[in-house]
Each structure stands twice: as C-alpha cells, then as structure tokens.
Amino acid sequence: MSLPVVAIVGRPNVGKSTIFNRLAGERIAIVQDEPGITRDRIYTQSDWNGERFHVIDTGGLEFGEQDEILDHIRNQAELALEESDVILFVVDGREGITSGDEEVARLLHKTNKPVIIVANKIDHHKHADLAYEFYQLGFEHVVAVSSLHGTGTGDMLDLTVSLFPEKIEETYDEETIKVSLIGRPNVGKSSLVNAILGEERVIVSPVAGTTRDAIDTPFTHDGESIVLIDTAGLRKRGKVYESIEKFSVLRAMQAIERSDVCLIVLDGERGIAEQDKKIAGYAHEAGRAAIFVVNKWDAVEKDEKTMDRFRKEIRFQFQFMSYAPILFTSAKTKQRVGKVLPKVKEVAEQHAMRISTSVINQVMQDAITMTPPPSDKGRRFKVQYATQVAVKPPTMVLFVNDPELAHFSYLRYLENQLREAFAFEGTPLKILLRKKNK
C-alpha cells in the first residue's frame, strides 16, 4: 500500500525548506536566505502519530518571468502537485498576501486537491491574527506556524493527516510475490514486463489494479501467484524531461513500499547513472529483496569480456548491495528473459527464510571461535545468544554484553558468515544488538 504524498509549495523565500527539514527531522533541504535556492524537489518520509507519509519539497513558484531556471522550478512544482494527496501552501504571514501568492493560489485551485495555507513566520502568538488575511485566497484551511521555532506545526500536521485519502487495503494474499520494476525512465521497464508476460507457462489475470500510474498485473507462473508492479507510467508535459527524471524517484519509492522483490532495471546501452544508485538505495533501505536486471543487452557492442566488465562495474557502484544477483536481458529479443521469474522466486524464498535458533547460535559460535572479536581498552565484545525475530528481510537479534563494543566491520563479518551458511541471495540482512540483562 502506497503512502500518502504531501507537497510543500509557495513562492520563493517563504520558509518551505525549513518546514520540510522540520518534518524530515534533519537538515536535508538547503536552507539559505536567498530566493530560489531550492532548485529541485527533494523527497523524505515523515511520521505523525503513527501515520507515515512522503513529503516533497519544491522550488519557489514565480510567474511572469522568462528564465530557464524559473521554468524548471515551475515544472518541478507542477509535477509534485500532480502526485500529491495534500498540498501545504506556504506564505509569509508577516508580509501578507502578495501578487505571487495570488498566482500560486490560482494554480492550486485547478488541482482540486486539499490545500492547507501555512502562514509561516508567525513567531509570536500576538501576531497570530495576521493569518486570517489569507482566507481571502479562497481555501478552507489556514494554519499559523513558525517553522523556526516549531510552533503551530502540530496543528498543521493534525490537519494534514486528517485530509489523507481513505486507505485502500490490497487484496493479494500473503503467498503472492509482489514484484516491482524500478529504475530511471526509458530503461525498458514496460517492455520487460511485456516480455516476461509473453513467456510460456504465464497465465495473466484479467484483473488489473492501478495505484497512481503503477500498473499491477497479477498472474500465475508454474502454480505460483505473482504480481508485477510496473512504475513506467510517467507523463511528459511540455519540456519537463529533467523533471521527469527526478520524478521517477518518488514513483520507485511508492512501488518499493508495496513489493517483496525489486527488479532494479539498468540500461545496458547507457550504463549506470547516479539516479540508479539513489533508486537502488531506497530498495536496500526498505529491506526489500533485489535483482539487478541489465536490459537492452542486445544493443551493446560486446566482446568476450564485456559482461564481466559490466558486472564488476555494478559491484563497484552498488557496493552496499553485493547480495543482489545480476541478470543480463533484452526485452526486445527476449534474450534471457526466461531467467527472470525463476530468479524472482529464489530470492523471494530467501527473503522469507526462517532459521531455527539452535542453528543460528551454532553458526555464530563457530564464527566467533574462528575469528574472535577484537578487544577495546581491555573489554571484548561478546555474543551470548542469537535468534531470528522477523522475515522480509531476515532479521537477527544478538544479545550481547555491550552493543557499543561492536565494530561495524565485525558485524559485517558475522553477516558474511550467516550468508555463507544460509546463502540469503538477493535479500538484505538486518542484525540488531540488544544488551543482555544480568
């Protein structure tokens, strides 16, 4: 199930990025007292009273100026509005309504989305009445806040969460493997979906659901229920090419939330881009199983070492995902497409694998005996007991004498020993440390 999306918009220098950072809980957006400093939308997740949601920070909206950067910011913001469920329209509460605010309001009225006017810079309760002026812009909700001090943000978030659309529960049963195809635009995700569905032994269900523009295709393969989630439905509007490239990140995040296995589709012809690493990173952080699928391999000029070189490049660029298998395919010629679904089932099985406590403890003790942990100022890290507490991804809890004595390199060694013993191909592993009570 996808999380709701909240877009923060407004003209430049009204405090949008400061509000974004407060919701993110950290300084992600660049905050500088200079109009137009936020060039691109930035994404984060936030949480309010147990309700998680995405937040998009946008560049300031300016109208009537012929400037390439301003056009880019405007296009970015319009795409953010298109994806959002609730819009926070930030204004300068001390300055009052400006012609720029009126232009932004006209744009927002066309969206038919819930809009909350956030009258920012109301730093003292004596000035709270200044917010009332903004009802003239024609929206039902106005909240006075100080992004600098945090006052009023609780009221703003209460209202934001109350305007989220009703949750639609997914109807797939627990045994169904949900597979998302994620990656930059134009890497061949839709073509790959069509090629996979064209394979023998695949029975496509006539029922398809949509979440935004992600198309769900349920089918069975060798008796196994699978759903393919294709995120390729990006609409090009005018000259918004660069914006669409950024926009693909949010689409990927929403698809990842709903999936068990992510097919990270790379363009064999164009190679690896920074955007690929960002998208793959979300799948890793979310604890999803993953497979790299290098598409368009038919278009690559090759010698006997080309595949090996590309494989090494993936391992170098995605060092944090050394567990993910790599497939080379061509959706156009159907080359090796038949290997995708069998590999999906393998990694889904590893992602949901549960190991008995006694076996985990035996592996841990063997690993520690073979390579004892280093001592720190005369104290040595000790693992007294280990157990698996969750699957998807497999999550181990180690009860230890002192978590602060654990060096990340030793934890990586323990993870590698677990992988050597049980494979865990395609899935991240989580290792949590708990101090064992005496």
Q: Is 230 annotated as a binding residue?
A: yes
* 123 marked as binding residue: yes
Q: Is 190 annotated as a binding residue?
A: yes
Task: Give 381's Cβ-side CA count (13 Å radius).
Answer: 21
Q: Is 179 annotated as a binding residue?
A: no
Determine which helix (DSSP H) or strand (DSSP E) holds 333, and give its type and residue range: none
Tell me whether residue 232 is annotated as binding: yes
Residue 293 token pair: 């699928």
Is 93 annotated in a binding site? The answer is no
59 is in an annotated binding site: yes
The answer on whether 152 is annotated among ligand-binding residues is no
Tokens of 79: 């795409």
User: Is 58 within any annotated ligand binding site?
Assistant: yes
25 appears as a binding residue in the annotation = no
Residue 231 annotated as lining a ligand binding site: yes
Q: Is 11 annotated as a binding residue?
A: yes
Residue 288 assigned ligand-binding role:
no
308 appears as a binding residue in the annotation: no
Is 61 annotated to bind a ligand? Reply is yes
Q: CB under 8 Å to 410, separation ≥6 — which residues?
A: 373, 374, 381
Cis amide bond preceding 393, omega within 30: yes
Q: How far is Cα of residue 21 from the mean position of the Cα atoms in its chain?
A: 17
Residue 402, annotated as binding a ligand: no
Query: Does the annotation flag 235 for ligand binding?
Result: no
Q: Is 298 annotated as a binding residue?
A: yes
Is 13 annotated in a binding site? The answer is yes
Report whether 14 belongs to an annotated binding site.
Answer: yes
Residue 261 annotated in ligand binding: no
Annotated binding residue at 16? yes
Report whether 271 belongs to an annotated binding site: no
Q: Is 189 annotated as a binding residue?
A: yes
Angle at 259 between CA 258 and CA 263, to 5 degrees: 135
Nearest to 54 by CA among 2, 17, 90, 16: 2
Q: Tell me, what DSSP letter sits at residue 126?
A: G
How many residues are there in the chain? 438
220 is in an annotated binding site: no
The reply, when asked if residue 21 is annotated as ligand binding, is no
Query: How many C-beta atoms surround the C-beta of residue 375 within 10 A?
Result: 10
Q: Is residue 129 part of an annotated ligand binding site?
A: no
| DSSP secondary structure letter of residue 167 | P
| Cα–Cα distance measured from residue 259 to residue 90, given in angstroms and rounded to the nearest whole number | 34
Q: For residue 194, say whether it is annotated as part of any ligand binding site.
A: no
The span from the CA of 85 to the CA of 87, in Å, is 7
- Is 10 marked as a binding-site residue? yes
The phi and psi torsions of 106 (rounded to 5 degrees) equal -60, -40
Amino acid at 283: A
> From the CB of residue 72, how many other CB atoms can be counted at a distance below 10 Å?
17
Instruction: Give the distance from CA 127 to its chain's centroid.
Output: 39
Q: Enumerate residues 6+ apart whose C-beta is below 8 A from 393.
A: 287, 288, 289, 351, 427, 428, 429, 430
Q: Has 180 been labeled as part of a binding site?
A: no
Which residues belong to the annotated binding site for GTP? Answer: 10-17, 57-61, 120-123, 183-190, 230-234, 295-298
Which residues belong to the annotated binding site? Answer: 10-17, 57-61, 120-123, 183-190, 230-234, 295-298
